[in-house]
Structure 1
């Protein structure tokens, strides 16, 4: 059924942009002109653009509606889409740049005329932490005032950093799920969950909200190694937590 749907969309696109399906009649479509730019506002040529019906299909690499498009030299993709669908999720990638932490939802309100949208692709810290969907980190050290706790299950847990849902991007940067690791009695067993947010200006990451929030400075991040440090105002207590990327 999906393959038939794809074929219909391709046929509509061809009819819309190159000829009318019947002389003098233009079939109804939702026309999109998508501009892909970098953080400087410069067009990004040859960026891969994929369309999905749901966010879960996008993040979990489900089936796309159409074969991938690629932006032209002006960073533009033009496509005609189903007239009955207003919203699409879009995945855009070029080398290490993506739209995973800018905007993945496209709204097409116009049936008559062209819907014009600009999406920025970048490479922020959040993507390095979570990837497209999530990345798993394992805590390797828990240190207080320079003294390391003896490694045990509670300080060797898995940390799944999950990219925030598009609809919740104003509330948080992502979700955190902690699970027992292979040094624990029940590997993969969930322990608890939380939300996290990143402050680029201060290079800090905060877990939880309000009175339950705890903020750490990111003192080292290499892509597969991370060190977080939290200090009291008088430096009486300095907590350091170290992590390594598992997958």
Structure 2
């Protein structure tokens, strides 16, 4: 069997060229986020790119802006999802310049853990009693599956390939074992010319081979190797000696 090597032109979004911070309202909280005010560009040269870093460093905010720029609903879903539970997305997409690949994606989905309940409800509304509609979601309502089952069903059945998939903390619903199975799903979808941008804290997911990892911190954004990331280093330190780490944490 001949395996076609992935080339640059199969990347559907090539880079974030610039964020024109001076065009944001002066009172905008976005001006204070390091990844925005110190932005120097991000290249997406691999099938899978990870955003990693501490809470509040702007990972999810940037991913949401990418999603909106690409035409996805800010709360999640495919490009056809037009519902809004609460309009809270930022204006970052309005000042962000994105470079797209030559080939247009045929499929796509924006999965964000915090609002997936609303997406599952919208899927039910769209199905309107037609159970065949659920074929792309594991054969049944997302609400009738556990949180983790619904995430896995979505990736296995709804993600069809030849598309771009934005995932915001998918590990929030996944056990360690299921996270490892997700690595296999990513690999199969990569073979089908898929591109992923994933916000995660999971050292399991970050181990995906031949991926790019961008770490967000108080200085901005920096590309890191897997074993250089805080997620890996802190988790490894804890697991290597949990008793010592607990004693340090509880020390008075």
- Regarding TM over 0.5, the answer is no
Structure 2 length as normaliser, TM-score?
0.23
> Larger RCO: Structure 1 or Structure 2 (Cα < 8 Å, ≥ 6 residues apart)?
2
Name the larger-Rg structure: 1
Please identify which structure carries the higher strand content: 1
Please identify which structure carries the higher helix content: 2
